């Protein structure tokens, strides 16, 4: 395979596109940072260029499939469990997309690779602000509501919660010393959470309750 200036420019473009995506990851101090994303994009481009040089004696799609598989292992390494949360999914998706952009660049689809890079950059920089705005429209609160053991309390709380616009994420009852306690986690608008708290304060069946974000 003779090295042409066009091949060098293709590799440099892969580095540039990878750098544009990697900047955001480095800025947010993520696992797959600036250099990692660049190398993934560059490597995918190089593999694609080499596979195309083998045609028509071999199928370039075979190497492309191996790139996807190999990048899958890299992405899986970025996914971790942090207590009840799973972190690293976005980073794994970036690794996957960087490889796809590298493959597009290596195959000569420069405009497609540039458009994809622009879309990825837009999603990474703009969409977190949209996510934050969405989060302000809903809150998750955990409640512990206690009262004397009787059917009135159970019926009252069940009716109260079902009448709200809050979504029940978790709910269980416990009993201790002739008292029963409802443990529940509710998702919904801040106003609905405040209305529920006001109803609990005025409910004669409720002896005490506490809530936390």
Q: How do the residues of the chain divide into helix, strand and coil, expressed in percent and rounded to 5?
A: 60, 20, 20
Q: What is the mean pLDDT of the chain?
A: 85
Say what the pLDDT of residue 158 is.
Answer: 85
For 114, what's the count of Cα atoms within 13 Å in the CB-facing half-sphere? Answer: 7
Give residues with Cβ within 8 angstroms of 18, minimum separation 6: 37, 38, 39, 40, 41, 42, 98, 101, 102
- Contact (Cβ atoms closer than 8 angstroms) between residue 155 and residue 162: no
pLDDT the model gives residue 162:
83
- How many other β-carbons are positioned within 10 Å of the β-carbon of residue 77? 14
Q: What is the pLDDT of residue 74?
A: 78
Distance, CA of 45 to CA of 37 (rounded, Å)? 12
Confidence of residue 82 (pLDDT cuts 50, 70, 90): low
Residue 112: the pLDDT is 94
The residue assigned the tokens 């998702």 is 187
- Residue found under tokens 């292992």: 73
Has this prediction a pTM greater than 0.75? no
């Amino acid at each position: 395979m003779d090295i042409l200036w066009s091949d060098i420019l293709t590799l440099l473009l892969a580095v540039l596109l990878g750098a544009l995506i990697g900047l955001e990851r480095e800025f947010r101090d993520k696992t797959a940072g600036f250099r990692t994303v660049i190398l993934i994009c560059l490597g995918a481009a190089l593999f694609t260029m080499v596979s195309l040089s083998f045609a028509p004696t071999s199928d370039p799609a075979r190497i492309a499939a191996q790139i996807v598989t190999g990048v899958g292992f890299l992405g899986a390494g970025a996914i971790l469990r942090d207590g009840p949360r799973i972190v690293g999914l976005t980073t794994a998706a970036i690794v996957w997309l960087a490889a796809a952009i590298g493959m597009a660049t290596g195959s000569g689809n420069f405009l497609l690779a540039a458009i994809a890079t622009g879309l990825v950059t837009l999603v990474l920089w703009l969409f977190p602000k949209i996510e934050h705005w969405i989060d302000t429209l809903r809150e998750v609160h955990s409640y512990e509501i206690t009262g004397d053991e009787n059917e009135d309390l159970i019926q009252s709380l069940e009716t109260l919660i079902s009448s709200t616009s809050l979504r029940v994420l978790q709910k269980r009852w416990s009993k201790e010393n002739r008292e029963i306690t409802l443990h529940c986690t509710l998702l919904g608008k801040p106003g609905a959470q405040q209305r529920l708290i006001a109803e609990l304060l005025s409910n004669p069946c409720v002896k005490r309750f506490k809530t936390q974000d």
